[in-house]
Amino acid sequence: MRPAARAEAAGRPAPVTYWLSHAWLGTHVEPGVALDVSDGLIAGVRTGVPTPPPGATVLRGLTLPGLANTHSHAFHRALRSTVQVGSGTFWTWRETMYQVASRLTPDSYYDLARAVYAEMALAGITGVGEFHYLHHAPGGTPYDNPNAMGEALIAAAAEAGIRITLLDTAYLSAGFGDRPAQYREPDPHQLRFSDTTAEAWAERASLLKGGGHALIGAAVHSVRAVPADQLATVAAWAEERQAPLHVHLSEQTAENDACLAAHGRTPARLLADHGVLGPRTTGVHNTHLTAEDIALIGSTTTGTCMCPTTERDLADGIGPAAALQRAGSPLSLGSDSHAVIDLFEEARAMELNERLRTRTRGHWTAAALLRAATADGHAALGRAGAGVIEPGAPADLATVALDSVRTAGPAPRLAAEAAVFAASAADVRHTVVAGRHIVRDGRHVLVEDVPAALASAIAALHR
């Protein structure tokens, strides 16, 4: 029996060789690279291979490590365009979000998430961090399977062919109360988010099973949604499992003001005082920080996930990403509310936002922005060692066309700059996960018609 046939019979991915016309190897663009893949991992990287070896699968364009979407709320995809009618703030946008959340069931969430994750695969995303807090039925009654919603997301990612880190989220209160250290009970829309206590959250989250394409992590929704005296329970759960821990941090000034009034300290300081910050923790947004906050986040090596397309869509503001990185906070990127799903847009928006704010150019090189979109993003999701094209790394790849109307023209040595500063998700031609072709020539091989799947799943929530 041939090696490929033996691997298939054993249920493992067959060995395969990919020939990359151009590959991003972390520091430069290398022409003519052959990747030998075995058991879903890169077994060898051969440079100086000018033509495809016999039997190799050809990927023409610039092949990058697969992209990491570090922060996602899959159901927010159903809000696209709907929330662009009229005006308002984050808080008025949230009311529309609650309406969509109230209509989801495990079956309809699976349908929507499968389509959303397929859209991500089409955009070159091979791993997603799903910040999941939609746990129970409307009214807060647990499903017979208390993790039915989370398991629907894990199954949806598998069907779409991408990896998922399910960041199961503690969401216990509606915000700060009128007196110090007091919190308001969840409002009717939030009842399905809440497990009532951090201990009950931990008990339910402990039933989730990872493995294969799925990892299980934890999240604190925000300092307004988890009472301060329960933060340590969530942090301890993650520490015990060495799991990633994420938290929405200082996204709006109103939250900062309320935290100061309730506790006499900023959200970052409150989280630090209760053991939440640290190298396995990622603060999402980190928008409205004091100089002390920035130093605190950096000194604890807490990561920062910037979501520029959502932050600008919600009029939240521009976070101090450059200062955070200088302080020691690794940067990653997320599409969050999915106003668009395009990690190239997120990467360049981080740089261009900083240019607008400072009126100077060149805060990050294309290489640094690609690292945020790949290796550092995957590390924030608990997959250290992913996001690089090196032996031993997962064989997760994304190939960007270099002959589209957006990318044609630059010399191949500038392909990384073309990808970051000009390409879009529409320029992704191939996506490979664990050595398996998920997107081939711009078409998803597992979900036959992704636009139709999105349209059907979203229409069902707006009837």
User: Which amino acids are annotated catalytic?
Assistant: 285, 336
Dihedral, 205, 211, 212, 214 alpha carbons, nearest 10:
10
What does residue 49 show for φ and ψ, rounded to 5 degrees? Answer: -110, 95
Three-class secondary structure of residue 132 per DSSP: strand
CB 311 within 8 A of CB 318: yes
If you search the block for the tokens 């995809």, which residue do you land on? 77
CB 419 within 8 A of CB 62: yes
Q: Which two tokens stand for residue 248?
A: 């929405």
The string of DSSP codes covering 197-264 is: SHHHHHHHHTT---BTTEEEEEEE--TTTS-GGGHHHHHHHHHHHT--EEEEES-SHHHHHHHHHHHS
Three-class secondary structure of residue 268 per DSSP: helix
Cα angle: 151, vertex 439, 56; to 5 degrees = 125
Which residues contact residue 178 at a Cβ distance below 8 angstroms, ignoring those fewer than 6 apart? none
Q: How many CA atoms lie within 13 A of 435 on its CB side?
A: 24
Distance CA 458, CA 76 (A): 10
Distance CA 463, CA 450 (A): 20
User: 302: closest CA among 278, 327, 268, 273?
Assistant: 278
Distance CA 427, CA 64 (A): 13
Tell me which H or E stretch contains 125: strand 125-132
The string of DSSP codes covering 370-430 is: HHHHTHHHHHHTT-TT-SS-STTSB--EEEE-SSSTTT-SS-GGGHHHHHHHT--GGGEEE
Task: Provide the terminal-to-terminal Cα distance of the chain, rounded to the nearest Å.
Answer: 54
Write the Ramachandran bin of 212: left for phi over 0, alpha for psi from -120 to 50, otherwise beta: left
Q: Which two tokens stand for residue 398?
A: 């994304």
Single-letter amino acid, residue 46: R
Tell me which H or E stretch contains 330: none
In sign, the C-alpha dihedral spanning 402, 408, 412, 418 is negative
